Amino acid sequence: MTELWNPSSTGVMRLPSGRLVRGRGLRRPLPADDPAPTFGVYLLGKPPPQVPWEKRWLQWPDFRLPADRAEARAVLTEVWWRSRTERVEVACHGGRGRTGTALACLAVFDGVPPGEAVAYVRAHYDRHAVETPWQRRYVRRFTRA
């Protein structure tokens, strides 16, 4: 089994089930003392930089919503499942809007009611997460099924 994230590391959010996911802004360097992710999902308008671990690109322009919502659901489902046994990171350029929105959707998968998921991520990841009204609405309408 892979060693999971240190819960006190920068950007690591604990979901109610105990799963750990790291959110990150790609404009910042990787945390020096943390191991590398085993899987990364990059929420960007253009292809992400090369990394030495397995990755997925979810086309998601800055301040917007995912270009393909069905693909977003599939990718976030994979993140949620893999976070149980792997070091998974979710990242966009700044690490707040798109990353916060994705983390809020993961919280919904983990049992947080959609209407409370943004507050959960703001309390447990970044107080400025989920930046736009349409990102907040996307989370409120996100369902577990």
pLDDT tens digits, residue range 75-91? 999 999 999 999 999 99
pLDDT at 1: 54
At residue 32, the pLDDT reads 84
Q: Is the pLDDT of residue 144 over 80?
A: no
pLDDT at 131 over 60: yes
Residue 43: strand pairing partners: 58
pLDDT at 70: 95
Q: How many CA atoms lie within 13 A of 69 on its CB side?
A: 10
95-129 pLDDT tens trace: 999 999 999 999 999 999 999 999 999 999 999 99
Q: So what's the pLDDT on residue 121?
A: 98
Q: Residues 8-57: pLDDT tens digits? A: 999 999 999 999 999 999 999 888 889 999 999 999 999 999 999 999 99
pLDDT score for 43: 98
CA distance 135 to 32: 31
CB-CB contact of 50 with 59 (8 Å) = no
* Residues 116/140, Cβ–Cβ less than 8 Å: no
Sketch out the chain's domains with CATH numbers.
Answer: 21-27+36-141 (3.90.190.10)
